[in-house]
């Protein structure tokens, strides 16, 4: 199988034509003007993957409220995806309601998409690992996560990452650990470090006026509105 360079942060997401449960799609063109999360799973009809699909679907509306779409992927055939999605709807209920998977799932039975995106890790077998690509409206890869097959993902963290990246872009700030529940700055965001002596001085003056808060000139933070 042809080897490719795995996409890196800040690079354009590769142009791919894929077969999905919603028909053929071209990526990233399909989601132009939107954020999207592409996530791979090891296989259909497997326990952990089923819990993940349900968890993604239950948060799908939250993603869409942030102008973000979801698209899954595994090296199964499209008919397998379709039957698995039907099985989930017929057998899984949350709060008494059946779970209907609404987002498309890529059928990569040739393995070409997985190879292009670096989703097969030989040390972890021949199935796709649990990868996550977060891509912005310009088609730029903004975050990549890899999980082993034995560990299911935390969907709330993926939501947080999209929200944090959007906040960073719109406000020109950085996002602290565990935001919006950081241990030292709470829900505040980080102001990028000063790049000159004059700017460092201005930061401290702003803190004295109560416009921002600083531990020092290089560690300043502020509250922002969504």
Q: Supply 172's token pair.
A: 């020109």
Q: Supply 94's token pair.
A: 């949350």
Query: CA–CA separation, 151 vs 148, rounded Å?
Result: 6
Q: What is the separation of C-alpha 86 from the centre of its chain, rounded to a whole number of angstroms?
A: 25
Query: CA–CA separation, 54 vs 92, rounded Å?
Result: 8
CA-to-CA separations, 182 to 148, 170, 175, 190, 191, in angstroms, rounded: 27, 20, 9, 11, 15
20 bridge partner residues: 23, 106
Q: Just list the catalytic residues.
A: 49
26-51 in b/e burial notation, b at 16+ Cβ within 10 A? ebbebbeeebbbbbbbbebeeebbbe
Query: CA–CA separation, 80 vs 38, rounded Å?
Result: 19
């Amino acid at each position: 199988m042809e080897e490719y360079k795995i996409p890196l942060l800040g690079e354009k997401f590769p142009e791919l034509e894929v077969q999905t449960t919603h028909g053929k799609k071209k990526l990233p063109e399909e989601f132009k003007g939107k954020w999207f999360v592409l996530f791979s799973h090891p296989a259909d009809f497997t326990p952990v993957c089923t819990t993940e699909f349900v968890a993604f679907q239950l948060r799908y509306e939250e993603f869409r409220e942030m102008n973000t779409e979801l698209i899954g992927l595994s090296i199964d055939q499209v008919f397998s995806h379709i039957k698995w999605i039907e099985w989930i709807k017929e057998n899984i209920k949350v709060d008494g309601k059946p779970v209907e998977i609404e987002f498309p799932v890529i059928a990569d039975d040739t393995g070409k998409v997985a190879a292009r995106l670096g989703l097969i890790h030989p040390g972890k077998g021949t199935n796709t690992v649990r990868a996550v690509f977060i891509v912005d409206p310009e088609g730029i890869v903004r975050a990549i996560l890899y999980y082993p097959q034995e560990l299911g993902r935390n969907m709330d963290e993926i939501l947080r990452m999209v929200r944090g990246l959007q906040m960073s872009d719109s406000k020109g700030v950085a996002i602290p650990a565990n935001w919006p529940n950081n241990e030292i700055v709470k829900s505040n965001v980080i102001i990028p470090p000063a790049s000159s002596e004059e700017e460092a001085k201005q930061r401290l003056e702003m803190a004295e006026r109560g416009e921002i808060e600083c531990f020092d000139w290089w560690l300043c933070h502020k509250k922002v509105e969504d």
